[in-house]
Amino acid sequence: CLYPDEAVAQCTASSVCAFTCINGFSQNNAGNTCICPPGNVVCNGVCQASSLCPSSQPTKRSRSPKCKFGWTACGVPSGAPWAYECIDTRSDLESCGGCVTPLTKYSPRGEDCSSLPGVQDVSCTRGSCVVLRCQRGYTVSADHSACIPNNSEVVNDYAMALQRNGKYGKDKQA
């Protein structure tokens, strides 16, 4: 036997596939399905008078940031909590490779290419800073990721800047 929605089996001697409608639903005139009669509404799965149906529950607004494919949701400097902007971290000069201002602790970390010590001309390509020219007293590194200082005074300033940016430590070298 197949029963319609909102029905339970009600087998009798005369009809082994008989059913009864539940939750306020009634059998239609043909007796083959359950309907919510005119004047009533289906509210939370129950057929009842519309005056008995409470207003819908408030729903929690999604806090999940939505960015188009290939873009990253990053926090906004000095913005409200959960304020975000969508950034193409593959090419954005100030959020290269990830977020300079992370939205969450799981946000990918990036860097501001324009703040690299000694940089004169730099770009962000495929999520990495690419140094094109350096200021006087610096030379472009072999891998084009930084500007290397030419004299000892600049070297000390450079090392301190790298330490401040977390780029210099036991596993990093200037």
1 inside domain: no
Are 47 and 76 part of one and the same domain? no
Mean per-residue pLDDT over the chain, rounded: 83
104 inside domain: yes
Q: How confident is the model at residue 172 (pLDDT cuts 50, 70, 90)?
A: very low
136 inside domain: yes
Q: Estimate to the nearest angstrom the gap between the alpha carbon of 136 and the chain centroid.
A: 42
Q: What is the spatial distance between Cα 112 and Cα 84, in angstroms, rounded to a whole number? A: 17
Q: What are phi and psi of 154, to 5 degrees?
A: -70, -35
Are 26 and 78 part of one and the same domain? no
Say yes or no to pLDDT of 151 above 70: yes
Are 146 and 102 part of one and the same domain? no
Domain count, the chain: 3
165 inside domain: yes
Are 102 and 116 part of one and the same domain? no
59 inside domain: no
Range of the domain at 106: 67-89+98-110
106 Cβ contact partners less than 8 Å away, ≥ 6 residues apart: none
Its pTM stands at: 0.51
Say yes or no to pLDDT of 158 above 80: no
Angstrom CA distances, 169 to 99, 165, 174, stand at 22, 10, 9
Are 78 and 128 part of one and the same domain? no
